[in-house]
Structure 1
Amino acid sequence: MTPSQIDLVQSSFVKVAPIAETAASLFYERLFEIAPEVKPLFNRDMKEQGRKLMATLGLVINGLKNLDAILPAAKSLAAKHVSYGVRAEHYQPVGDALIWTLEKGLGSAFTSEVRDAWLAAYATLSGAMIAEAYGKAAA
């Protein structure tokens, strides 16, 4: 991830924050549509789950300029997700649902440059999380 990509991710996420509840709802609807096998992993109040998702995204995105500070928390979260039944292959539809949600939420502000920045950020974070939870070969 380049500094410019980090800036694009951070500035675009600021635009999503006002519609956080809607964005979270869109995200989970899309995730369950493209990966219905993950729906049973979510057996809690989805509004609360959505709030947690958006809060976690906010923390991670705000910390992108200091990856060394956020990667330990992301890796810990990945290990915790294993106990919920999350598998390495689930990260792809999660990323796809995230990008789709951002495209819907940002509209014309979701340029190809912004998309590429988000893809780079997701690849960096998910790669570290997958490597931590399932080994480097899985990443």
Structure 2
Amino acid sequence: MTPSQITLVQESFAKVAPISDQAAVLFYDRLFEVAPPVRAMFPEDLTEQRKKLMGMLAAVVSGLSNLESILPAASALAKRHVAYGAKAEHYPVVGETLLWTLEKGLGEAWTPELAAAWTDAYGVLSGYMISEAYGAS
């Protein structure tokens, strides 16, 4: 990722943070709509899960400037996800759902440049997590 992409991601996430509850609801509603089988991996009450999602996103976004600082936590998260039943093929669906959620939440502020920056950020992190959880692809 370029420094300008990191700035775009961080500035746009600052606009999402105030609506994090709504964004998390949008995210999980969409995820379960496009990938119904993954619903079984989650608790019935998603209140805590939504908070975890937004907290993890906030930590990752703030750590993009120093990627090495967030990789240990990303590795541990990836390995925990395996125990929950997550598979490598779930990562692209989650990424598409995240981008969809950001587009909905940011409205007109969602530009092709911003979409590319988020796509790159998710690609870097998910690629790392997949390799940590399932071995190099």
Q: Which of the five TM-score ranges fits, normalised by the shorter chain?
A: over 0.9
Report sequence identity in percent.
61
Task: Tell me the alpha carbon deviations over residues 74-110 of structure 1, each in whole angstroms, 9 at most, x when there is no partner.
Answer: 0110001100100000001100110000000000001
* 2:73 corresponds to 1:73: yes
* Shift >6 Å, 4+ stretches: none
Aligned mates of 2:44, 2:82 — CA distance in 1: 17
- Which residue number in structure 1 is paired with residue 82 of structure 2? 82
Cα RMSD after superposing both structures: 0.7
Counterpart Cα distance in 1 of 2:115 and 2:41: 28
Shift of residue 47 of structure 1? 1.6
Distance of 2:58 and 2:96 partners within structure 1: 18
Superposition pairs for residues 1-139 of structure 1, below 5 Å? 1-137=1-137
| 8 Å Cα contact 1:21/1:47 also seen in 2 | no
Q: TM-score if structure 1 supplies the norm length?
A: 0.97
User: 1: CA distance between counterparts of 2:60 and 2:44?
Assistant: 23
Whichever residue aligns with residue 47 of structure 1, its letter is: T
CA shift, 1:45, in A, is 2.3
Give the TM-score normalised by structure 2: 0.98
Q: What are the Cα deviations for residues 42-64 of structure 1, in whole angstroms up to 9, with x where unaligned?
A: 02521211011001100110000
Gap regions ≥5 residues in structure 1: none
